Amino acid sequence: MAQGHHHHHHVDPESGDLKVALAVAINLALTLAQIIGGIVAGSLSLIADALHNLSDAIALIIAFAARKIARRPADTRMTFGYGRIEAVAALINYTTLIVIGLYLVYEAIWRFFEPSPVTGWIIVVVAGIALLIDLATAALTYSMSKSSVNIRAAFLHNLADALGSVAVIVAGSLVIWFGWHWVDPAATLLIAGYILWQSALEMPVVVRILMLGSPPEIDAEAVIATMLEVEGVGSVHHVHLWMMGEHENALNAHLVLESQASGSAGAVKKRLARQYHLHHSTLEIENAAERCRDAQVIGH
């Protein structure tokens, strides 16, 4: 029987905000340096890395804003609160990553047919600096990425950048040693491939939250079976199990209770909280005479 277990990694909000703000600042500075270096060196892979790094800075800005908004309390406009804004921010960031990845594939293929001279030593120096800053940025956001799909999207931007910088350094070195200019667009294809692969892995998680999907770690059939095991519960229907946010799950269901089963609903809630960490359970009680007719077990 599947059970939901959440291990939260609590980070002080203000401390986290400072880390993200610092990461934004150093990424913007790095982007400017990479673009200048790429233009001077004539390196597509370095400019590609700079564009991706700019997306890192934008991703961090979006993540920073989403963190702030998510802390707002529920109100009449957003009765569930603003927490899901972090999933929206992650969706924006992954979509941006996919667009950048596809653009880099196009540019790299075009460069194979129309190669241009590349100044290898400038590439290596700038990419080396970029690698250090990428690693520093990743270190700033690593702990927060464990518990936030929003920060994780921004973190993956930076991790991809770090690997991209390694690829650029290798490409620049091969240009210096052997004059292999074709390695520059080849390295760009590797960067693009990694970006697209990571986005394809993470995007379904974000979409599932926004589509009100059931938590992947909880078996909906097992939850229904657990409710039916409680004494006094005759049947269950109109079950909705969804993720309110990355770490908050909720359930809505109709319970048909047998006579003399007044405490069954409370017992169901306790079982759900204990076994599946479902602390947001809304149960509508019906008796056999008043139950919904031809009702589906799951959904309406």
CATH number at residue 86: 1.20.1510.10
**Cα separation of 60 and 46, whole Å?**
21
Quick check: 226 and 131 in contact, CB under 8 A? Answer: no
Q: Residue 149: pLDDT above 60?
A: yes
Residues 46 and 118 in one domain: yes
Residues 90 and 146 in one domain: yes
Confidence of residue 227 (pLDDT cuts 50, 70, 90): very high
CA 114 to chain centre: 37
pTM, two decimals, is 0.73
* Residue partners of 285: CB distance under 8 A and separation at least 6: 254, 255, 257, 265
Residues 225 and 194 in one domain: no
Quick check: 227 and 236 in contact, CB under 8 A? Answer: yes
Would residue 186 count as lying in a domain?
yes
CA 81 to chain centre: 19
Taking residues 68-80, what's their average pLDDT? Answer: 89
Residues 237 and 199 in one domain: no
Phi, psi of 284 (to 5 degrees): -100, 125
> What Rg value do the Cα atoms of the chain yield, rounded?
25
Residues 190 and 128 in one domain: yes
Higher pLDDT, residue 203 or 167: 203
Q: Note down the domain range covering 196.
A: 13-210
Residue type at 109 in one-letter notation: I
Q: What percent of the chain has pLDDT over 90?
A: 21
Taking residues 193-217, what's their average pLDDT? Answer: 89
Residues 170 and 67 in one domain: yes
Taking residues 8-31, what's their average pLDDT? Answer: 69
Overall domain count for the chain: 2
Nearest to 16 by CA among 184, 202, 154, 190: 154
Q: Does residue 298 sit in helix, strand or coil?
A: strand
Would residue 204 count as lying in a domain?
yes
Taking residues 49-77, what's their average pLDDT? Answer: 83
Would residue 5 count as lying in a domain?
no
**Cα separation of 148 and 290, whole Å?**
43
Residues 178 and 277 in one domain: no
Q: Among 175, 210, 245, identify where a domain stops.
A: 210
Would residue 54 count as lying in a domain?
yes
Q: Among 210, 241, 276, identify where a domain stops.
A: 210
For the packed helices 120-145 and 149-178, what is the interaxial angle rounded to 10 degrees? 160
Would residue 178 count as lying in a domain?
yes
**Cα separation of 40 and 119, whole Å?**
8
Would residue 263 count as lying in a domain?
yes
Residue written as tokens 């960067």? 191
Residues 82 and 139 in one domain: yes
Task: Find the length of the chain.
Answer: 300
Q: Residue 66: pLDDT above 80?
A: yes
* Dihedral over Cα of 47, 53, 55, 57: its sign: negative
* Residue partners of 43: CB distance under 8 A and separation at least 6: 37, 118, 119, 122, 123, 168, 172, 184
Would residue 102 count as lying in a domain?
yes
